[in-house]
């Protein structure tokens, strides 16, 4: 029998792709999700893609101990947790800091307490490259100081600190993954990113322009200190990010402490907004009209990972490039013009 893994937020963008990868690797999964920012349809499609593999779904809130107990009691013993559940919109976090601290920090605290109750102390946590704040030296290494500049990133750093304290307090095994910019979709086009309303992020916005759902892309600033003046980010294929979770869990089960293990998950190759636009046009043949507008508040010029530690410790490196990110994201958009809300 495969290891049993509880996945909080497993119906979301990164969670659904990770569920599929882990099911295909023979894990038995329990997803806890309140569908606050996702649809049960994502999990139906994961089931369908994975065939008859093991996936239990518990609708519940990570802040509710009873919901967590129900999820843990689905199996005799949960062997590890991947904690995706949380809120991730920077602007919203500035407007609603209490909600972000409640869901992201309190939710993680309640989850950790449930893990202790159910004798499971192995966890992979979703952190973020925005934990580094506005860095000036590149590429970003995990031993550089965190300096979060908005409530979203501050909640992620707070949870990192909680997990570090737990490792000092007992036999916890923790991997904190600092994701850079996951994009794209499963190549089947059955699961993908499904933002509600106007997309905040670059990639879904570009695919919606390509599909004719939006007229033009707004490029937020061309006066950054970068070669073409537009912001640089380290984009990685969501399937590569999903793979990283499987190898991180294996590492936690096999390797003795010390923990936590903190790892950047990115490619190390930053791309500007205009490079992404050109890459999308080249791989799909569709032109993306754009206007250069003011900078977006809170944006930093550049974020780029040093991915060396993940390679050395986990043997993980991204395998897919920009062309696959664009192709797969576009396949998903074409097949699901209105996301999951359009039905199957």
Interface residues toward ligand NAD, by CB under 6 A: 8-9, 11-15, 33-38, 61-63, 84-86, 88, 103, 107, 126, 128, 179, 181-182
**Class of residue 15 by CB neighbours under 10 A (exposed 0-12, middle 13-18, buried 19+):** buried
Of 132, 152, 235, 340, the catalytic one is 152
**Class of residue 95 by CB neighbours under 10 A (exposed 0-12, middle 13-18, buried 19+):** exposed
Residues numbered 11-40 forming contacts with ligand UD1, rule: CB under 6 A:
none
> Is 290 an annotated catalytic residue?
no
How far apart are CB 128 and ligand NAD at their closest, in Å? 4
How far apart are CB 202 and ligand NAD at their closest, in Å? 10
Contacted by 61, from ligand UD1, ligand NAD, none: CB < 5 to 8 Å by type: ligand NAD
Copy the structure tokens of residue 106.
């309190």
What is the DSSP secondary structure assignment for residue 225, as one 8-state letter? Answer: S
Residues ≥6 apart with Cβ < 8 Å to 168? none
Of residues 75 and 191, the one with the C-beta less far from ligand NAD:
191
Of residues 90 and 120, the one with the C-beta less far from ligand UD1:
90
Of residues 42 and 277, the one with the C-beta less far from ligand NAD:
42
Of residues 84 and 316, the one with the C-beta less far from ligand NAD:
84
Interface map 155-194 toward ligand UD1 (x if CB under 6 A): --------------------------x-------------
Three-point CA angle 291, 296, 301, nearest 5° = 95
CA distance 82 to 16: 12
Dihedrals φ, ψ of 21, to 5°? -60, -45
Residues numbered 188-227 forming contacts with ligand UD1, rule: CB under 6 A:
200-202, 205, 217-220
Q: What's the Cα-to-Cα distance from 154 to each of 5, 150, 165, rounded to whole Å?
A: 27, 6, 17
Which helix (H) or strand (E) segment is 48 a member of?
Answer: helix 40-50
Residue 322 and residue 328 in contact, taking contact as beta carbons nearer than 8 Å:
no
Residues marked active site are found at 152
Interface residues with ligand UD1 (CB under 6 A)? 88, 90, 128, 130, 152, 181, 200-202, 205, 217-220, 231, 233, 273, 296, 298-299
């Amino acid at each position: 029998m495969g290891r049993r893994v509880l996945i909080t937020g497993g119906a979301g963008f990164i969670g659904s792709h990770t569920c599929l990868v882990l099911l295909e690797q023979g894990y038995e999964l329990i997803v806890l999700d309140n569908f606050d920012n996702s649809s049960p349809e994502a999990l139906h499609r994961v089931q369908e893609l994975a065939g008859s593999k093991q996936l239990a779904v518990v609708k519940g809130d990570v802040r509710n101990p009873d919901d967590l107990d129900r999820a843990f009691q689905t199996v005799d013993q949960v062997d590890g947790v991947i904690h995706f559940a949380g809120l991730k919109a920077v602007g919203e976090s500035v407007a609603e800091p209490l909600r972000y601290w409640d869901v992201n920090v309190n939710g993680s605290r309640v989850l950790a307490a449930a893990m202790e109750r159910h004798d499971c102390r192995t966890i992979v946590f979703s952190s973020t490259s925005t934990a580094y704040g506005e860095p000036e030296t590149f590429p970003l290494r995990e031993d550089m100081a965190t300096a979060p500049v908005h409530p979203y990133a501050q909640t992620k750093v707070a949870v990192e600190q909680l997990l570090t304290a737990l490792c000092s307090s007992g036999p916890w095994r923790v991997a904190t993954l600092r994701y850079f910019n996951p994009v794209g979709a499963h190549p089947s086009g059955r699961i993908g990113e499904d933002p509600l309303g106007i997309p905040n992020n670059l990639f879904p916005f570009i695919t919606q322009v390509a599909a004719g759902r939006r007229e033009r892309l707004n490029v937020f600033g061309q006066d950054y200190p970068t070669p073409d003046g537009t912001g640089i980010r380290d984009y990685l294929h969501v399937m590569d990010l999903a793979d990283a979770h499987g190898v991180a869990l294996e590492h936690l089960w096999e390797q003795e402490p010390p923990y936590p293990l903190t790892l950047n998950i990115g490619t190390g190759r930053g791309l500007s907004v205009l490079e992404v636009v050109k890459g999308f046009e080249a791989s799909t043949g569709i032109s993306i009209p754009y206007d250069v507008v003011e900078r977006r508040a809170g944006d930093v010029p550049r974020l780029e990972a040093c991915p060396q530690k993940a390679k050395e410790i986990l043997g993980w490196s991204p395998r897919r490039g920009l062309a696959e990110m664009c192709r797969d994201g576009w396949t998903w958009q074409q097949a699901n013009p209105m996301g999951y809300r359009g039905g199957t």
